[in-house]
Amino acid sequence: MILLRIALRNIAATKVRTLIIGLLITFGTMLVVVGGSLLSTLDRSMARSIIGSVSGHLQIYDSGARDALEFFSPPTGTPDLGQIADFPKVKAMLEALPEVDSVIPMGSDFAMVFSGNIMDVKIAELAQAIEKGDRERAKTLAEHVRKNIKLLQESLKGLDGFVNLDFNREEREEDLANLATAASDAFWADFLDAPAEKVVFLENKIARLAMDAKMLFLRYIGTDTEAFRKNFELFEVVKGQMIPPGKRGFLFSEFIYERQVKNQVAMRLDFIKENLDSGRKIKEDPKVASRIQQNMRQYKEILYQMDARQTEQLCARLREFLSVDEKEPEKLLEQFLDMNDENFSARYQFFYDEIAPLIVLYQVRIGDVLTIQSYTRSGSATAVNVPVYGTFRFRGMEKSALAGVYSLMDMMTYRDLYGYMSPDRRAENEALKAEKGVKYIPRSEAEDSMFGSDEGGEEAAPSADSEQGPTSEVAAPPAESGSERPSTALDEFADVDMSEGGQRYGAELLNRVYPQSEIDSGVVTNAAVRLADGVDLEVGRAAVEKVLKEAGLPLNVVDWRQASGLVGQFLGVVWIVLFSAILIIFLVALVIINNSMVMATLDRTREIGTMRAIGAQRSYVLKMFLIESTVLGVGFGILGTLLGSMLIVFLGRVGIPAVSDELYFLFAGSHLYPVLLPGHLITAFVVVFVVSLASTLYPARLAARIQPVKAMGKED
C-alpha cells in the first residue's frame, strides 16, 4: 500500500510527463481494441462474402496448373488451371469425409456476346411481315425503318459515334451514298410491291451502319447449377427463374444485366437515382450532372426504337405530363430529359411507367437464346447457343461490382465453350458425317483416297464393294468415349442448310435434361468444397489434403483467402499496417517512458539514497519503480480500453457505411457492424502491461544500484 501511494504521488508530481505518456498509452490501447475488432469483423464479413458466393471454404484444382486459381484478380486472360482427372471419383471420395458437406464442379472463363442493333431487329421484323403477307404491319415497320435511316443521316451533324463509317475514303463515300439511297422517296415508293431486293439492300448495306449494338465481355462460371443453388446460401434469383435441374441455361449477374445490357438512357437514370438516394445533389455533383447532359444529347436512343404509332403515343403523353404544346418528338423528349433535383423523382417514375414499355429496355431479354462466342483451349473459335433464364445476385451484395463480376451457366455449355468433345457434340458430328457420307480413312491410305493411286498413272476408282463413296472425305478416327479433343478436324456447318434446323444446338438439345452422372463427367477445371457445419477451416483442409494424398491424386487445395486472389491479400495487408502502427506507437511509448523514468531516477537520487540509508533494500526500490510504471500503464490502458470499447459499441449499432463497391463486397452488405470480442481487451491489456514493464526495467535497475552514501552527499 505504501508503494502504491508513493507511485501515485510521483505520477501526480510530474503532470506533463504523465500526460504525454498517458496519451500514447491511451491511443495505442484504443488502436489495439478498435483495430482488432474492425479487422476481425471484416475477416468474418469477407469470409461470408467469398465462401457464400463463388469459392466455398476450399477450392481444389490440378497441381500441374500453370496459373494460380484467383477468382477476383484483374482479368488478364484465361488462367490455365489444367483439369481434375476423374472428377466423379474425387467428388465421391471427398463427400464421404465427415468434414465435407458437398463438392461442386466448376470452371471459369471469358466470352463475348454480340447483341443486335435496333435496325437489325426492325429490318428482320419487316422481312417477317412481308413473308407472312401482313401488309399493314409491313407498312408500319417500313415507315419506322425509313425514320431510323433519316436519324442516321442527321446523326452525322452532331452525334459523333452514332454511325459506324469506314475510315477508307472510298468506302465512306459509298456508305453515305447508300444512306442517301435508302432515305430517298424513290426507294420507298414501290417498296411493298417489290420488297425482296430492297430488304436485302437494307440488311447488307444499312443495318451495319447503326452503332447501338453492343459487344459484351462476360466472365462466367460453368457449374452444376442446381448444386450451386443449394450450396451457396447467398445466391438468389432476381428476375426470371432458376435454370431447371439438368438443363442448359444462362443466368446474367444482376449487376452486369443492369449496368451493361440495359438501355443507356435508363441506365443513366438509375445511376442518378442511386446517387440522389445517397444524399447527393444534381447541381452539386458533376458526375451526376454529366449523366443528365448525356441523356439530353442522346435522346435518339429512345426515338430510334419507336415506330410512328408509338412516337405519337409518346408525344401525347409527354405533352400532357410537361403541360406544353410542342409537336416535335425530339424537342419534347429533350425537354423531358432536362432534369433537376426538384423534378427528377416524378420524371424517373414517368420514364418507367410510360416510356420503358415502348422501347427495348434490355438488349438481351430473359427468354432469349443467347449466342456466346469464345475460344476453345486449342485456340479455335466457337459459339454456343444457350437460353437466358434470368438474373441472379448474392444477397446483401447487390451493389458490389466484385460480387457481380461473374454470370452463371450450366456445365455442359461451359464444356462446349472449353472445347470438350461432349457426347452431344460427338453424336451431332457422327450424324453430320453419316448424312454427308464421311468415312474414316487410315492415315496410310489418305493420300491415295484424296489424290488417287499412282499405279498406271491414273486415278484409282473406288471398287464396287468399297465403303468409300464419291462424296467421301478424309476424317479423323472416331473419338473414344470421354476423350477430350477439340473439334477442329470437321466444319460442323459445312453444307448444312441452317434454315432447315441445322443449328449446332437445336431446340431438342436445349430441352434435354442431363443426368447427374453426365454433369459430373467430362472437363472440370476446379471444384468448390463446402465443409460441414462447425468444422474448422484448417481441420477441414487437412482432412481433404490427407485423403487426396493417400489416393495419389495430384490436386492443389487452397482456402477461400487464397482462392479470392487480391481481395484475400487485402486483409493481410491491412493487418500488417495495423500491427506496424501499433508497434510504432508502443515503441515510441517505450522510449518516452524509459527516458522519463531515467530522468525521474536522476531527479530522485537523494530521495532514493535516503530510503536506502534507513533500510530500504534494492528489491524495494525496484518494486517501487515497477509499481509506478504499472499504475501508469494500467490506468491509461483502462482508459484507452474503455474509449475503444465505447467506440466499437457505437459503431456496432450505427454501422460503418460502405462508400465504394469494393467495401460493399468486403462488408458483405451496405454496412459493417463491428463486434467487440474479449480477446481484443485481453490483447490490449497484455500489450500495455508488457510495454510498461519493459520501459521501466532499466530505470528501476539504475535506481536500485544507487549507493546511499553517495546519494546523500550529492550536491543539489
342 grid coordinates: 426538384
Instruction: Output phi, psi for 218, to 5 deg.
Output: -115, 135
Instruction: Output phi, psi for 530, to 5 deg.
Output: -100, 125
216 grid coordinates: 459484351
- Sequential DSSP letters for 410-470: EHHHHHHHHT---HHHHHHHHHHHHHHT-EE--HHHHHHHHH---GGGSPPPPPTT-S--T
Q: What is the pLDDT of residue 467?
A: 37
Residue that finishes a domain, picked among 308, 341, 358? 358
Q: Please indicate, yes or no, whether residues 44 and 122 belong to a single structural domain of this protein.
A: no
Of residues 520 and 491, more confidence is placed in 520
Average pLDDT over residues 481-506: 43
Q: Would you call 89 helix, strand, or coil by DSSP? A: helix
Euclidean distance between CA atoms 222 and 78, whole angstroms: 14
Q: What is the pLDDT of residue 102?
A: 95
pLDDT at 503 over 60: no
Q: What is the pLDDT of residue 202?
A: 87
Q: Please indicate, yes or no, whether residues 36 and 133 belong to a single structural domain of this protein.
A: no
Give CA angle at 634 (628, 638), nearest 5°. 150
Q: What is the pLDDT of residue 39?
A: 81
pTM over 0.85: no
Helix (H) or strand (E) holding 103: strand 100-115
Give 245-257 pLDDT, tens digit per residue.
999 999 999 999 9
Q: How many Cβ atoms sit within 10 Å of the Cβ of residue 278?
A: 9
CB within 8 Å of 624: residues ≥ 6 apart: 3, 6, 7, 703
- The model's confidence at residue 713, banded by pLDDT at 50, 70 and 90, is low
- The model's confidence at residue 195, banded by pLDDT at 50, 70 and 90, is confident
pLDDT at 483 over 50: no
Could you tell me if residue 591 is inside a domain?
yes
Could you tell me if residue 661 is inside a domain?
yes
Q: Please indicate, yes or no, whether residues 304 and 192 belong to a single structural domain of this protein.
A: no
Q: What is the pLDDT of residue 350?
A: 95
- The model's confidence at residue 484, banded by pLDDT at 50, 70 and 90, is very low
324 grid coordinates: 406544353
Average pLDDT over residues 42-57: 86
Residue that finishes a domain, picked among 358, 385, 415? 358
Q: How many folded domains does the chain comprise?
A: 3
Q: What is the pLDDT of residue 29?
A: 82
Euclidean distance between CA atoms 632 and 692, whole angstroms: 8
Q: How far, in Å, are 153, 439, 586 from residue 470 at the CA level?
A: 54, 11, 89
Q: What is the pLDDT of residue 400?
A: 75
Give 137-176 pLDDT, tens digit per residue.
888 888 888 888 887 777 654 444 444 544 556 777 787 7
Average pLDDT over residues 302-328: 87
Q: What is the pLDDT of residue 244?
A: 95
Q: What is the pLDDT of residue 700?
A: 63
Could you tell me if residue 586 is inside a domain?
yes
Average pLDDT over residues 654-658: 83
Q: What is the mean pLDDT of the chain?
A: 78
- The model's confidence at residue 220, banded by pLDDT at 50, 70 and 90, is very high
Q: What is the pLDDT of residue 110?
A: 85
Q: Please indicate, yes or no, whether residues 596 and 689 belong to a single structural domain of this protein.
A: yes
Q: Please indicate, yes or no, whether residues 202 and 275 belong to a single structural domain of this protein.
A: no
pLDDT more than 70, % of the chain: 72
Could you tell me if residue 397 is inside a domain?
no
Q: How many Cβ atoms sit within 10 Å of the Cβ of residue 211?
A: 16
Q: Please indicate, yes or no, whether residues 571 and 705 belong to a single structural domain of this protein.
A: yes
Please give the span between the terminal C-alpha atoms of the chain, in angstroms, as a whole number: 30
Contact predicate 44/64, CB 8 Å: no
Q: Please indicate, yes or no, whether residues 678 and 597 belong to a single structural domain of this protein.
A: yes
DSSP 163: B
Give 368-416 pLDDT, tens digit per residue.
888 888 877 777 778 888 999 999 999 877 777 777 889 999 999 999 8
Q: What is the pLDDT of residue 486?
A: 41
Of residues 503 and 333, more confidence is placed in 333
Q: Please indicate, yes or no, whether residues 131 and 31 belong to a single structural domain of this protein.
A: no
- The model's confidence at residue 487, banded by pLDDT at 50, 70 and 90, is very low
Instruction: Name the packing angle between helices 15-50 and 566-603 (round to 10°).
Output: 170
Note down the domain range covering 158.
117-211
Euclidean distance between CA atoms 680 and 118, whole angstroms: 60
Q: Please indicate, yes or no, whether residues 690 and 582 belong to a single structural domain of this protein.
A: yes
505 grid coordinates: 444446338
The lowest-confidence range among 103-107, 148-152, 207-211, 630-634 is 207-211
Could you tell me if residue 27 is inside a domain?
yes
Could you tell me if residue 487 is inside a domain?
no
Q: What is the pLDDT of residue 121?
A: 75
| Sign of the torsion angle spanned by Cα atoms 558, 564, 567, 571 | negative
CB within 8 Å of 133: residues ≥ 6 apart: none
Q: What is the pLDDT of residue 99?
A: 94
Give CA angle at 142 (354, 360), nearest 5°. 30
Euclidean distance between CA atoms 635 and 692, whole angstroms: 11
Q: What is the pLDDT of residue 452?
A: 56
Q: What is the pLDDT of residue 449?
A: 58
Candidates 224, 81, 198, 173; CA nearest to 556 is 81
Of residues 486 and 711, more confidence is placed in 711
Give CA angle at 549 (548, 553), nearest 5°. 60
Q: What is the pLDDT of residue 62?
A: 92
Give CA angle at 376 (216, 564), nearest 5°. 65
Average pLDDT over residues 538-562: 92
Q: What is the pLDDT of residue 272?
A: 93
Candidates 471, 689, 563, 577; CA nearest to 54 is 563
Q: Please indicate, yes or no, whether residues 608 and 708 belong to a single structural domain of this protein.
A: yes
Average pLDDT over residues 124-149: 85
Could you tell me if residue 294 is inside a domain?
yes
Residue that finishes a domain, picked among 211, 233, 249? 211
Of residues 404 and 354, more confidence is placed in 354
Of residues 657 and 444, more confidence is placed in 657
Could you tell me if residue 302 is inside a domain?
yes
pLDDT at 184 over 70: yes
Candidates 475, 470, 469; CA nearest to 488 is 475
Q: Please indicate, yes or no, whether residues 181 and 267 belong to a single structural domain of this protein.
A: no
Q: What is the pLDDT of residue 522?
A: 85
Q: Please indicate, yes or no, whether residues 597 and 690 belong to a single structural domain of this protein.
A: yes
